[in-house]
Amino acid sequence: MATTIAPKRAAVRRVKRTSPARKLGRWVFIILAVITQVTPFYLAVTTAFKPITDTTSLWLPPVSGGTLDNFATAWDAGHLDWALENGLIVTVFSTALTCIIGATAAYPLARRSTRLNRFVSLAILGMLMVPPLSILVPLYTMLAQLGLLNTYISLILVLTTLQLPLAVFLFTQFMRTLPPSLEEAASIDGAGLVTTFVRIVLPSLKPVIATVVILTATNVWNEFAMSSYILNKAEVRTLAPAAASFFGAQGSNIGAAAAAALIGLLPILIAYLFLQKYFVKGALAGADK
């Protein structure tokens, strides 16, 4: 008996002896991660509020008081009001189409386990691994031949297509956790397939819909490469290309360039602050089923 108890006590002592070191290592890692994430934002804020005559270090806050002139310059000279409107239109319509098409396409994939559906699911999963820029040249050529360059509809359709694989995958995985008994009861009561999907399935998808909305809206709002090529006129540019163009033109006014970057960051940052809990619920929704 003594021989079996002794190793257990030794193991407990080892755990207690190494536990403070592990906790310290975790805190050090967390602090370093926070510093790494916050430092660029801090530098952007201090630079954006400095007047153009302030030549102090980027690490120091404005010595003679902050100014909003950089934000006014970015807003007027960079035409960020147009860019915000264009970005909002593209983001809203792309997100809505992604949710509607993604949920509709995922329903048969989740409920009918046929060879064709399994193949389609694997194909959709494989699309997640295709770099979007690899199809840029043929895509740009096709849009040019159709006369759809510099139009909202072209970018909305392209970005919706790029976001659909992830949306279909998330919807499919979540629908598989839903009990089919509710749909069977609805069919017994005389509900058709469309009625069952709209009234029974869709209300149960609120957590994953929130996740898809946040991921899609964030990706579309921050999208740069496709937007730069498809919408290359200043009056139809979205926020990311407009801010980048203004940033490149303001080589001598770093404060205005930093202000433009902050203006582009604020909408998505506010959305994250208000929708973070819904994103977490949607990401973990399948775990408690």
Confidence of residue 164 (pLDDT cuts 50, 70, 90): very high
Which H, E and C letters describe 57-112, residue by residue?
Answer: CCCCCCCCCCCCHHHHHHHHHCCHHHHHHHHHHHHHHHHHHHHHHHHHHHHHHHHC
Mean pLDDT score, 275-280:
70
Higher-confidence residue of 64 and 121: namely 121
Q: Over 70: is that where the pLDDT of 263 sits?
A: yes
Question: What's the confidence (pLDDT) of residue 97?
Answer: 97
Q: What is the pLDDT of residues 230-255, one digit of tens each?
A: 998 888 889 888 888 887 776 677 88
pLDDT of residue 126 exceeding 50, the answer is yes
More confident residue, 64 or 120: 120
Percent with pLDDT over 90 in the chain: 29
Kindly state the average pLDDT of the residues 284-288. Answer: 53
Give residue 141's pLDDT. Answer: 92
Give dist(CA 147, CA 230) in Å, integer.
11
Q: 83-125: per-residue pLDDT in tens? A: 999 999 999 999 999 999 999 999 999 988 889 999 998 999 8
For residue 250, the model assigns a pLDDT of 67
Could you tell me which of 213, 190, 187, 164 has the C-alpha nearest to residue 111? 187
pLDDT tens-digit map of 8-25: 554 445 444 557 888 888
What pLDDT score was predicted for residue 34? Answer: 92
289 confidence band (pLDDT: 50, 70, 90)? very low
Render pLDDT for 24-57 as a digit per residue (tens, 0 to 9). 888 999 999 999 989 988 988 888 888 877 777 7
pLDDT at 19: 74
For 138-162, b/e burial (b = at least 16 CB within 10 A) is ebbeebeeeebbeebebbbbbbbbb
Rounded to two decimals, the pTM is 0.81
